[in-house]
Amino acid sequence: MPAPYTLAEIASRLGGRVVGNADTLIRQVGSLEHAGADQIAFFSHLRYKQKLAATRAGAVVLGDGAQSLTVIPRIVCENPYAYFARVSQLFNPVLAPEPGRHPTAQVSSAARVAASARIDAGAIVEDEARIDERVWVGAGCHIGHGSSIGEDSRLYPGAVVYHECRVGRRAIIHSGAVIGADGFGVAEDAGQWIKIPQIGGVIIGDDVEIGANTTIDRGAMDDTIVEDGVKIDNQVQIGHNVRIGAHTAIAGCVGIAGSASIGQHCTIGGAAAILGHLTLADRVNVSAGTLISRSINQPGTYTGVFPFDRNASWVRNAVMLRHLSDLADRVRALEELLRTKEKNG
């Protein structure tokens, strides 16, 4: 059970301004709908006004423009959602691993494992692998030859890191994730496919989270790179030699084909697809279900869903669709010209 904090203590740690009883004692976070008297909720949008009015939470986090919408004790801040995330971290700290190795774990004598690390049942750590301080390797995980896991990282049960891959500090890798499987490299010859050996690796930066059953392929020759602070949801496929810029967030079921380069601070919505060898600039936001078929050189939000067709027809229609706005402007200009001519006889 986490220690309780008063609103004053929370604000002293995380910032913000307390309005109302600063001695209100909080033991946990909760939703507006279900929070109790010892929980704190958050309010981020006017569409939830009715829920705010009906909440039984002991306190609420909200923005400057919303502080007058309730009389319950509250913390006023600039970004309620981000503030609430930090409050939740305060009440739900990450568990530190208890050091040790389960008797059924198979750890090579040629591996380097920090004394503070934890290796759970059935995990395998191969030759020349390195497990740094306070790493928690869950049950059934597999760490391949020569790979390294940075300090304070956690691998949930069943995660796999193939050979010669590097995972940075404070990583979270969820169950079923596979880091460093072969990229899809094949060459066609006389109707048969010839496998191209994938001799690159995967480099994962610090503070990266990788969702359950997500796959990040190793590079064909150079490495696949995921930079610091990237957050990847479940069931995402990242092809070989992809580069993902720092602090980009990728929602579930996204597919990124080989050699694509994604900029920093991007967001990619669920089930979006990015074709290979494309480049996305920094701060590009791709809407859910959108197919990115050409590089994006300017920041902004990009959206598009277009029905499939025979390729030649699809390409012609797509070209016309891209110019539809210009065509509409030209039609309006012609209509205005006709009206002017009619008026003038």
Active site residues: 240
Query: What CA–CA distance (Å, rounded) separates 286 from 205?
Result: 23
Is the distance from CB of 58 to CB of 36 less than 8 angstroms?
yes
The CB density around residue 326, as the number of other CB atoms within 10 Å, is: 9
CA 249 to chain centroid, in Å, comes to 4
Is the distance from CB of 105 to CB of 120 less than 8 angstroms?
yes
Nearest partner of 248 among 232, 261, 270, 237, judged by Cα:
232
